[in-house]
Chain A
């Protein structure tokens, strides 16, 4: 399909959704609603397709003995356990107690533990970073150290002073930099999208 066709579809879809947000019109609302339904179906199809592709990939890995067979088997086993718990006859799907138990007793603690390990990995990475990129790492480590000091959970007047400092850092420099980044990212995305939509592809020339 020529890119101009894709671009035209994207433009019409986007304009319709924006117009629906700005103008109260039943016909426009119905058209935007229909498009939205398509988007929901597309997202659901993509999610199911992704899960099937992931399962098929790891089944191939196990069959061929390639990659990490143990890892693939754990992943496939996990998928089977959750699917059986949620789809077996009499199950209430994702609200089934078996699924809820799998999430609360296994999945959530495992994910939280892995996330908590980033504390150690980050410290290790910073130590190595000093050896590889000393200047950049020094700036990052200094900023991290300041924030850590400001967030120390101390009581009394020193604790209040630190907490005030942390609030100021969050509200002024951090918020300023973050908003600048957001605006910058927004401008770049808008320009890239406009370029993609409006400039003809070389193949189209």
Chain B
């Protein structure tokens, strides 16, 4: 009898747990399904791209100002948590730079940034980008390392035509025609503006950043300390669409508008339900 009662209680507990978890799992399944439904960029009902294009035009102009065969430093210091938000934008920028015949070099000042940079370099090599980007590796010391790189950015092991060109131009950050800072939570374009901007005022700095950094970086764009800035998902999607050349251009997937819409409506529904429960004096939600 006692065993039966315990079994019933266990079953009830399991059912209660399933009921608690079911809405979240169902939402995740719906979101995953929505991601599989292709939505055209010019769909009249759903559009993730921003109608405001000034920042996209700003980055395209900054890249356009780099001379053919120019050198661009990609300072990849994104973090693993927020990189998915800016991955499509970053890859679009790399495609854009390559399309302009610009030579690239990668450097990182954070360990997470270095890990992402290594993976992106590997991807670029596999896609056969020519000339192959130079890998300037990881510089420790965060902002102190950044200041050190102003004078010397080439590691001992650097070799190849791009490294030779950097060396011929002085071997420091001034060797580059543009720096594209891919920002994260540990080291953002703000550090570049603060540490490199006053020392190399002629060096153009462009930035790609996740949305949470936008309020921090936007004033630098207005003041001209940043030449260009893409810092929201919608701007990134607009940019990726603007430079899209062919479907398989290896930029990686851009976020799905339908999945975003469903997720946002679900969030609004949950907020509304919780607020209504509060207003009607309902019990404590679980």
Contacts and interface: CB of A to CB of B under 8 A. Distances in A.
B141 A44 contact: yes
Interface residues of A, number: 61
A101 to B, nearest CB: 8
Contacts of A108: 80, 83-84, 115-116, 119
Contact of B145 (A40, A94, A112, A148): A40
Contact of A141 (B80, B144, B274): B274
B83 A112 contact: yes
A103 B119 contact: yes
B215 A170 contact: yes
Interface residues of B, number: 66
Given A43-B144, A108-B116, A138-B275, A156 B44 contact: yes
B52 A163 contact: yes
Interface string B27-55: 11000000000000001111110111000
A40 B198 CA distance: 20
A43 B118 contact: no
Interface in A124-139: 126-128, 130-131, 134, 138
A170 B24 CA distance: 30
Contacts of B145: 40, 43
A126 B270 contact: yes
A112 B84 contact: yes
A178 B215 contact: yes
A37 B45 contact: no
A9 interface: no
Interface string A139-151: 0010011001101
Given A43-B142, A119-B263, A100 B24 contact: no
Given A115-B81, A144-B271, A103 B115 contact: yes
Interface in B208-238: 214-216, 218-219, 232, 234
Tell me the dominant secondary structure on chain B's binding face.
Answer: helix
Contacts of A144: 267, 271
A131 B81 CA distance: 30
B96 interface: no
Given A159-B47, A182-B216, A148 B122 contact: no
Among B263, B264, B267, B271, the most chain A Cβ lie within 10 Å of the Cβ of B271
Contacts of B216: 178, 182
A37 to B, nearest CB: 7
A123 interface: yes
B214 A170 contact: yes
A111 B81 contact: yes
A94 B140 contact: no
Contacts of B142: 43
Contacts of B44: 155-156
Nearest to B123: A104
A36 interface: yes
Interface in B178-207: 198-199
A127 B140 contact: no
Interface in B45-93: 45-48, 50-52, 80-84
Given A43-B140, A127-B274, A130-B278, 4 more contacts: A112-B83, A148-B267, A154-B261, A164-B52
Interface of B: 24, 27-28, 43-48, 50-52, 80-84, 111, 114-116, 118-119, 121-123, 135, 137-142, 144-145, 147-148, 151, 198-199, 214-216, 218-219, 232, 234, 257, 260-261, 263-265, 267-268, 270-275, 277-278, 284-286
14 contacts: A95-B118, A95-B121, A99-B115, A111-B80, A115-B81, A130-B275, A130-B285, A131-B278, A131-B285, A144-B267, A153-B47, A154-B46, A156-B47, A170-B218
Interface of A: 21, 33, 36-37, 39-44, 47, 93-97, 99-101, 103-104, 107-108, 111-112, 114-116, 119-120, 123, 126-128, 130-131, 134, 138, 141, 144-145, 148-149, 151-156, 159-160, 163-164, 167, 170-171, 174-175, 178-179, 182
